């Protein structure tokens, strides 16, 4: 069976949108241009500092994924891949206590994903054995053996291209992810 590791944030769940909504609400500031920095709190620094607030408090809340929706096309794309016979393994690298919130959101929207949901507390995603990794950040592809794992990057505004250990394909959306994986699909052994 072909295993596809899927990053959770910005590949499966649109967590940046819900974090942005939180920051805009607590600061009263609405961004007019799309952010290009993965750390959204930098766009609200002066307002957060003035109010004595921490932009990362959102991630320390009890259930930050409560109002987070899936990335456009992700549910349909995962369903298609599951029907083709791919093993879909959600992976995430986190540093805070929101793992249970993330698991609950994934179970709600993505029942076709494999269990358990692999969440690495600060570890490397390359510790997960898979045939493909789909992520939104190039640095998460470092450490994978390019002879064993192929990378797909879902394009986001935060993307920056750097030399990698792993060759990868840049995808604009979930339809492209499904298309690339379907082309490489072989009958499971």
User: Which CATH number do you get for residue 157?
Assistant: 3.40.50.1000
Nearest-angstrom CA–CA distance, 187 and 99:
34
189 domain residue, yes or no = no
Instruction: Please give the average per-residue pLDDT across 177-184, as a whole number.
Output: 92
**Same domain for 55 and 101?**
no
Domain count, the chain: 2
**Same domain for 86 and 49?**
no
77 domain residue, yes or no = yes
Q: What distance, in Å, lies between the first and last C-alpha atoms of the chain? A: 6
Listed ranges 72-86, 90-104, 113-127; the one with the highest mean pLDDT = 72-86
- Mind listing the pLDDT tens digit for each residue in 137-155? 887 888 888 889 999 999 8
Q: Which residues touch 36 (CB under 8 Å, ≥6 apart)? A: 157, 158
Nearest-angstrom CA–CA distance, 84 and 81:
5
- Mind listing the pLDDT tens digit for each residue in 43-82? 999 999 998 988 888 988 889 999 999 999 999 999 999 9
**Same domain for 75 and 54?**
no
113 domain residue, yes or no = yes
**In b/e form, how buried is each residue of 104-128, taking b as 16+ CB within 10 angstroms?**
ebbeebbeebbeebbbbeeeebbeb
- Show the domain range for 8: 3-14+69-184
CA distances from 21 to 17, 29, 42, 123, 159 (A): 6, 10, 14, 28, 21
**Same domain for 28 and 120?**
no
Nearest-angstrom CA–CA distance, 5 and 41:
28
Q: For position 46, what pLDDT does the model report?
A: 93
**Same domain for 56 and 73?**
no
**Same domain for 19 and 49?**
yes
**Same domain for 97 and 163?**
yes
**Same domain for 83 and 135?**
yes
37 domain residue, yes or no = yes
**Same domain for 144 and 164?**
yes
**In b/e form, how buried is each residue of 51-81, taking b as 16+ CB within 10 angstroms?**
eeeebeebbeeeebbeebebbebbbebbebb
Q: For position 174, what pLDDT does the model report?
A: 97
**Same domain for 22 and 93?**
no
């Amino acid at each position: 069976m072909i295993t596809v590791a899927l990053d959770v944030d910005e590949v499966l769940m649109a967590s940046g949108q819900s974090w942005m909504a939180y920051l805009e609400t607590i600061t009263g500031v609405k961004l007019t241009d799309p952010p290009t920095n993965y750390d959204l709190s930098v766009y609200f620094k002066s307002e957060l500092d003035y109010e004595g607030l921490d932009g990362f408090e959102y991630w320390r809340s009890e259930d930050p994924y409560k109002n987070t929706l899936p990335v456009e096309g992700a549910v349909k794309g995962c369903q298609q891949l599951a029907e083709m016979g791919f093993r879909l393994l959600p992976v995430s690298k986190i540093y805070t206590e929101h793992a249970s919130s993330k698991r609950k959101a994934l179970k709600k929207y993505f029942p076709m994903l494999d269990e358990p949901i692999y969440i690495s507390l600060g570890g490397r995603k390359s510790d997960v054995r898979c045939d493909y990794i789909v992520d939104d950040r190039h640095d998460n592809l470092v450490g994978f053996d390019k002879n064993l794992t192929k990378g797909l990057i879902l394009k986001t505004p935060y993307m920056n291209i750097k030399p990698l250990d792993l060759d990868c394909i840049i995808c604009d959306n979930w339809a492209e992810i499904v298309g690339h994986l379907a082309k490489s699909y072989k009958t499971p052994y």
